[in-house]
Chains A and B, each alone.
Chain A
């Protein structure tokens, strides 16, 4: 196991941020940590990165205790910070990466090639010698990612890697993380963007009020929404009233929302029968997403 967390707890003043949290992450696995603001995600990430001491319990990274063997933990862990800070704005991307690489334990030998390779890998080769303060948010975030993996860690902690990025930049970052997976890297991902989780994670941990509320493979987690697809039908005049559907009427028009437990030809045929004789102007089907399951669980 790459990460083993047992009975981890941590309080700030009277507020319990983590309460008896236990889970394991296997080597090469990508696990997403989900939860609303204040659920304890950042606290857990900070403890695993050795920036914060736990109040109780234990956490081990590649067998090293995060309290007693912090240095050993750091030698096998890369941490990618979200946000605008964490880089030297007046220095170039190359100088930043070189310095952080040396902090991560890399020697001068072969450093230049390694830095160049990492910069190319995150698409910053052409901008390597520009001051970081001239970088876009996406470029900074890619540099953060390069800082995280330059020393070839075995475990990568990704804290909100795509926060504030546009769609293209976010996808580019996800692609880079996906590439990193091929080398067997274990990733613990924290993100509010569920598309990150859907594209990258094998498993989802849901933190609620500092406790692990769910620990499931991605597909099973999505299933917690309780339905497979949402069918929305719009029409005019009299409206049908199928079971388990909600209908919103606005004057002469109506909108029917139906959550179906499976979505296949038989359901489509049944729906056709239900709607026969009614004036339907539009029909749309959206497969259930992680967001639906997360919203249901988080607001439960």
Chain B
């Protein structure tokens, strides 16, 4: 129950900060779409636009949840609840991912409709499955990063640093195969890369189920690492007294 309560709570918070939602969920994909519209957009480019927007939003919304809670003094009361705070954080990151994904999807669809560009999705069912996985991967990444960023006082700077490398390593801007050979293995541990490959395949009519599996496994790993990192954050905070009462 607390998972869903936290999810709704986070969505309400984001709706109350609607300017932030418009910036990340509407303006960001529109800018990307305007760039790719100079050529005829394909399902692959539209997918990349959605995922780039989603990743950028995840870093600033889901991944920043704990840091914002700490800044606003709401982390301490959250930790003092009897509910498992990891479930609360998980609910919040899920809420953030779902809301932002819905807004981005709606923006992209509306934009393509209004601009008269038709994008054909060869296998809509698997594409939808891929999109669902996108929400889960975003939640996992947000969950993990939120905990990691809280361990460092340089969370905002790390957030900014996380956007571009992950975008590159996921193959959203350019194919991973054109990256330098020594850097390509890094992309293997980025779940977004595999989800992007699966979505692209589903759009072309050739879904890559290995990519789907790898994306799912990595997502589970992110959740586990996030839970471990959170426990570490909680223990450190109780040892050092870094969760202020006011």
Q: Do A and B bind each other?
A: yes
Residue from A12, A53, A102, A107 with most neighbouring chain B CB atoms (10 Å): A102
Please report the C-alpha to C-alpha distance between residue A86 and residue B5 in the assembled complex, in whole angstroms.
18
Decide if A104 is an interface residue (CB 8 Å cutoff).
Answer: yes
- B246 to chain A: closest residue by CB: A83
Decide if B45 is an interface residue (CB 8 Å cutoff).
Answer: no
Q: In the complex, what residues of A have CB within 8 A of residue B78's CB?
A: 103
Please report the C-alpha to C-alpha distance between residue A56 and residue B237 in the assembled complex, in whole angstroms.
17
Q: In the complex, what residues of A have CB within 8 A of residue B9's CB?
A: 91, 95, 99
Q: In the complex, what residues of A have CB within 8 A of residue B74's CB?
A: 85-88
Decide if B241 is an interface residue (CB 8 Å cutoff).
Answer: yes
- Is A51 within 8 A of B82, CB to CB? no
- Is A103 within 8 A of B82, CB to CB? yes
- Is A79 within 8 A of B83, CB to CB? no
Please report the C-alpha to C-alpha distance between residue A71 and residue B83 in the assembled complex, in whole angstroms.
9
- Is A108 within 8 A of B72, CB to CB? no
Please report the C-alpha to C-alpha distance between residue A82 and residue B246 in the assembled complex, in whole angstroms.
6
Given A74-B82, A95-B12, A49 contacting B72 (CB threshold 8 A): no
Q: In the complex, what residues of B have CB within 8 A of residue A45's CB?
A: 245
Decide if A75 is an interface residue (CB 8 Å cutoff).
Answer: yes
Residues of chain B from 66 to 83 with CB closer than 8 A to chain A in the complex: 72-74, 76-83
- Is B81 within 8 A of A51, CB to CB? no
Q: Which of B17, B81, B244 contacts A74 (CB 8 A)?
A: B81
**Chain B proximity mask over A47-73: 1 for CB below 8 Å, otherwise 0:** 001111100000000000000000100
Decide if B239 is an interface residue (CB 8 Å cutoff).
Answer: yes
Please report the C-alpha to C-alpha distance between residue A79 and residue B73 in the assembled complex, in whole angstroms.
13
Given A46-B241, A107-B1, A85 contacting B82 (CB threshold 8 A): no
- Is A105 within 8 A of B16, CB to CB? no
- Is A82 within 8 A of B17, CB to CB? no
Beyond A45-B245, A81-B76, A88-B72: 20 further Cβ-contacts under 8 Å?
A46-B245, A53-B239, A79-B245, A81-B77, A81-B245, A83-B73, A83-B246, A85-B246, A86-B77, A90-B17, A91-B13, A95-B9, A95-B12, A99-B5, A99-B9, A102-B5, A103-B78, A103-B80, A105-B83, A131-B16
Closest 3 CB pairs of A and B: A85-B73, A83-B246, A103-B81
Residues of B whose CB lies within 8 Å of any CB of A are 1-2, 5-6, 9, 12-13, 16-17, 72-74, 76-83, 88, 237-239, 241, 243-246
Residues of A whose CB lies within 8 Å of any CB of B are 12, 42-43, 45-46, 49-53, 71, 74-75, 79, 81-91, 95, 99-100, 102-105, 107-108, 131, 147, 159-160
